[in-house]
Homo-oligomer: A and B are copies of this chain.
């Protein structure tokens, strides 16, 4: 995997710093895997270990500073960052707090403000007690919510980012093509899950952090359960929804199949979801709000629609903001990568969902996933 050019990171940090300036923030403290990857290119599965915190500080001017466990020094040294400060983690007495506080105090005047993402769809990936210690050690500097600064920048993807997401979507497209050879009557759903993960890896995924799905007669029960060992049966609707990763970027879309044969209710539900997605595609233009996209799809689905959001942002995480819900007024801008994800209840406890990935362009939506078949495919 080739790394991004330094110019890509310079542009990202410049955009963040413009937002920080407008919001009156003298530094931005980042603690999560996608945020740190976004400004540095530091990519590792080691985040899977909760033992160690990792920090990157974006100053008002100049390049970010990494404050990290020494086990990451070699890998961080391969990024564009030059100021990398390490401690021997885990340190039960002071797990990087003093080093981070000193870094922030050098960078932020006593009357200044440290931006920390605090709002919706953010997390602070460090122990809460250490955060309180950091607050005390950096006083009288104040903290302020940097959620909007961060999200308005990250949600608009650059062309190199869009290309990576397109490549990941193409991996999933090819793996979905192989499902007729993977799933047929009699194969347990957990075996389908394993075989589909294998197909994703064979088609070029680096990792498969997310796979959900369901199977049941005329619909499935939910979309977040792990697979059970029930064999697929004729008349089942099967759905697979994957968040594979290539070069650090996710896809997130699903496909549906009927096993053996499809009943009329399933075909009608599929047609409705296909039409709802068409309406979402047509509505996905610069200036339209997340709520506009929601309503466009909801109007097609009607009152049988599943509650909840009908899509979301996508990129460095499986799901990003904004949410396609009635309350989200975030405006679409060129470069935003979104999922369109309408759902429908076919019968009580039996649902169907449909999902595509798109990027917003000046003249409307461009598909990143290959469009699902017009009619519900019957396999196996």
Residues of A within 8 A of B (CB): 1, 43-46, 48-51, 70-72, 74-75, 88-93, 95, 116-129, 131-132, 145, 147, 190, 193-194, 197-198, 201-202, 205-212, 221-226, 228-229, 243, 307-309, 312, 317-321, 323, 325, 327-328, 349
Contacts and interface: CB of A to CB of B under 8 A. Distances in A.
Contacts of A95: 120
B307 A70 contact: yes
A198 B209 contact: no
A129 B147 CA distance: 10
Contact of A225 (B74, B90, B211): B74
A90 B309 contact: yes
Contacts of A309: 90
A43 B226 contact: yes
Given A92-B328, A309-B90, A123 B125 contact: yes
Contacts of A75: 222, 224-225
Contacts of A90: 120-121, 309, 323, 325
B308 A209 contact: no
Contacts of A243: 48
B123 A49 contact: no
A320 B201 CA distance: 28
A131 to B, nearest CB: 8
A305 to B, nearest CB: 13
A50 B194 contact: no
Contacts of A319: 49-51
A372 to B, nearest CB: 21
A200 to B, nearest CB: 10
A312 B194 contact: no
A50 to B, nearest CB: 6
A329 B88 CA distance: 18
Nearest to A211: B45
B210 A48 contact: yes
B207 A123 contact: no
Given A198-B198, A226-B43, A123 B120 contact: no
A132 B205 CA distance: 39
Contacts of A224: 44-46, 71-72, 75
